[in-house]
Amino acid sequence: MMSITHSPVRMPRHYYFFVVLVLIFTVSLQAQFYRVSPEQWGERLVAVVPLVGNGRPDNPIRPKFVPAPLTAAERQASRLEGARLANEAREGKIDRAAEIVMKRQLHSFSWVLSDDGKSAIVEFVAAHRDAFAEILQDKAVKVFDKKATLSSEGGKQAAKDELRRVKKDFEWEDLRTAVLN
């Protein structure tokens, strides 16, 4: 009887290359599903500010540095301008002046009224720290960088104690500002 010997099957080199490419592609697709939480996006500043406004619809009572609500026409114009600037930025056509305007824009805020009703604890959110320039220059305003404050346990507790002087039952969860793009 004759014995049959089998030679090992050799895979072509391009087969291994193809397998590696498929693995890389699969891993890169998986990585795109992990997004930044809306509560973690952007630069965040917490400040104790006085209330401003006279209570009329065109000038409601609100924390200082918080813009008055827009009318429907102003809101539509703002959306169109924002979309135009975003398209220009994507296409690389944005000029320096428009870039500065975008950096100086507050994206969102949330606030809680103080116990005395004369001030508020406000969390401001912006894409760039330049948006906080006016707030940071006001010496009458107590300011906390939220990310820096919450990163250390001692800083978190010290800031919480300071904010509890303004609102006795203050908790960090009261200021959960999410940015929805």
- Indicate left, alpha or beta for 108 from its phi (over 0: left) and psi (-120 to 50: alpha): beta
pLDDT at 39: 63
Task: Tell me which residue of 140, 144, 154 sits closest to 124, measured CA to CA.
Answer: 144
| Nearest-angstrom CA–CA distance, 120 and 51 | 7
What ranges do the domains of the chain cover? 43-174
Q: What is the C-alpha separation between 38 and 176, in angstroms, rounded?
A: 10
The 3-state DSSP class for residue 12 equals coil
Residues 103-124 have a mean pLDDT of: 87
User: With 0-12 CB in 10 A as exposed, 13-18 as middle and 19+ as buried, what is 99?
Assistant: middle
Report d(CA 61, CA 68) in Å as an integer. Answer: 9
Going by pLDDT thresholds of 50, 70 and 90, the confidence category of residue 97 is: low
Q: Please state, for a pLDDT cut of 90, what percent of the chain lies above it.
A: 23
- The whole-number average pLDDT for the span 164-169 is 94
| HSE-CB of 41 using CA atoms within 13 angstroms | 16
Query: For the segment 11-59, what is each residue's pLDDT rounded down to a tens digit?
Result: 666 677 777 777 777 766 665 555 666 666 788 899 999 999 888 887 8
Handedness of CA 29, 31, 34, 36 (dihedral sign): negative
For residue 84, what pLDDT band results from cuts at 50, 70 and 90? confident
For the record, the structure tokens of 56 come out as 């009329």
